[in-house]
Amino acid sequence: MPSAGEIEARLFDLAPGEGAMEWDNVGLLVGDPERPVERVLVALDITEAVADEAIAKGCELIVAHHPVMNCRWLPVQSIRDDTPQGHLLCKLLRHGICAICMHTNLDVAPGGVNDALAAALGLEDPGPLCENGLGRVGTLPAPMSLPEFAKHVCRALGCNGVRYADVGKPVYRVAVGGGACGEFEKDAAAAGCDTYVTADLSYHQFLDARAVNLIDAGHFPTEDPVCLRLVEYLQSQFPGLSIQKSASHREVIHYYVEGE
Ligand SMILES: [Zn+2]
């Protein structure tokens, strides 16, 4: 039976810690590295529901993408049961559940978030979008119209909807940036792309779109494909482990469309 620390080391083989941005927090963030592990739950985020699912399924370890504590958007100064994040961390600790988070190091890693996204969209010959290794650029087997491609993205990623801006180009050379990667739109333009698929874009970014069609497919849908990759990777490394993707974690954003 491998320990949580051994599983962490194998995950760092896939996505080395040096690949993480300096503001990030990756690796085994909660629990005992010596803890023997038999059952693993993989999820994009460690939410309260994911923690409850891990408890119900007898998992000793949760492997997640987003850090459960102390990264840029989630500073944690205390672990108190009367705060939402503290309550979650206390719950993990009380049940002896370890948490490993592989974040921006998994974004840049070959076989990580962006390769999983490019593969889900059927992009051919994907290569890095940015100098730091983030994002991917590839081509579709054949050009399609933007509305057709928007439908393809929805179906491929299981989105409830997408928001998009049309700059009047058909879709063929596509850049992807899983999660909030709007700042790399200029890299997509510089790479000669006609379309950029990412998440968390602002009104002003849509308003100012000129060089590339912009598609905001949502944070969860653009990153969730990596979870199955993590399940497959861990299963190949530790055939004796019981590893499953969370059944409780899904897209939380819904779209109401007038007239439907
Ligand atoms: Zn993310």
For residue 168, give the nearest of 141, 146, 200 by alpha carbon. 146
Q: Which residue has the higher pLDDT, 3 or 73?
A: 3
Q: How far is the CA of 24 from the centre of ligand 1 (A)?
A: 11
pLDDT at 260: 62
pLDDT at 8: 98
Centroid of ligand 1 to alpha carbon of 209 (angstroms): 23
Distance between CA atoms of 260 and 248, rounded to whole angstroms? 27
181 Cα: distance to centroid of ligand 1 (angstroms): 9
Alpha helices in 192-256 (DSSP H): 203-207, 219-223, 225-237
The answer to the question of residue 164 being in a domain is: yes
4 within 8 A of 37, measured Cβ to Cβ: yes
* % of residues, the chain, pLDDT over 70: 100
Whether residue 189 sits in one domain with residue 116 = yes
pLDDT at residue 10 tops 90: yes
Residue 90 alpha carbon to ligand 1 centre in Å: 23
Gap from CA of 87 to ligand 1 centroid (Å) = 22
Domain membership of residue 190 (yes or no) is: yes
112 CA to centre of ligand 1 in angstroms: 12
Q: Is residue 258 part of a domain?
A: no
Does some domain include residue 88? yes
Contact 12, 214 (CB under 8 A): no
In this predicted model, what pLDDT tens digit does every residue of 205-259 receive, in sequence order?
A: 999 999 999 999 999 999 999 999 999 999 999 999 999 999 999 999 998 888 7
Span 167-215, pLDDT tens digits: 999 999 999 999 999 999 999 999 999 999 999 999 999 999 999 999 9
Above 80 in pLDDT, residue 55? yes
Query: What is the CATH number for 23?
Result: 3.40.1390.30
Q: 1 C-alpha to center of ligand 1: Å?
A: 31
Rounded to the nearest angstrom, the distance between the alpha carbon of 259 and the centre of ligand 1 is 32
In a domain, 257, yes or no: no
Range of 69's domain? 4-105+225-245
Distance 246 CA to ligand 1 centre (A): 17
Same domain, 93 and 128: no
Q: Are residues 208 and 234 in the same domain?
A: no
Number of domains in the chain: 2
Of 174, 179, 168, 175, the C-alpha closest to 223 is: 179
Both 99 and 121 in a single domain?
no
256 Cα to the center of ligand 1, angstroms: 24
Q: How far, in Å, from the CA of 104 to the mean position of ligand 1?
A: 8
Measured from the Cβ of residue 50, the count of other Cβ atoms closer than 10 Å reads: 24
Q: Are strands 171-176 and 195-198 parallel, antiparallel or unpaired?
A: parallel
Closest to 243 measured CA to CA, from 253, 252, 233, 251: 233
107 Cα: distance to centroid of ligand 1 (angstroms): 9
